[in-house]
Structure 1
């Protein structure tokens, strides 16, 4: 069985381009939406992502909407805890494909890490 995990030096989820996420206001409250939009930098990338290492510079203090946790996903998206693993894998695969491509090194690394 595939098990979700974040892979280092990917950063696909840090591509925050609001044009590609028109439904942000459906799952972010007004304060979170304001914070999210304030984090969008050049090319839609999060201002807290180190572009060279592809690592979050505020990882320990990142906002709630950046956390893959069962309570967060249940509240924000209505995903039951037992569904989180498969949902997170699908989300990551879609985001990695959209940012880097379905045959990218990032996708290959993710699939290997999660056991696909």
Structure 2
């Protein structure tokens, strides 16, 4: 497929905005997967019962989400995969097919996987 949009058209900026949002969303899902799945249910329950007032409040909010770990993991992975699979579709209108693949892989690796683990 050929490049559809030239620089500085309105659709060009819409595509750039969607690409940036998809990369940020993929990074958020990757970070949430790492952060939420690394929490122990026992540690959260202890914090909810005997932590500082601030820790109790935060643990009480997170505990219902983390209790159903299989649903949480599936939701985060499906959202992450959807964002990563949609990215080349929007890039394809701006660059060639090979360029879209290379740019999307680079963006996802840098911002979606490596950056979210730090």
Structure-1-length-normalised TM-score: 0.31
In terms of fraction of residues, the more helix-rich structure is: 2
- Rg larger in structure: 2
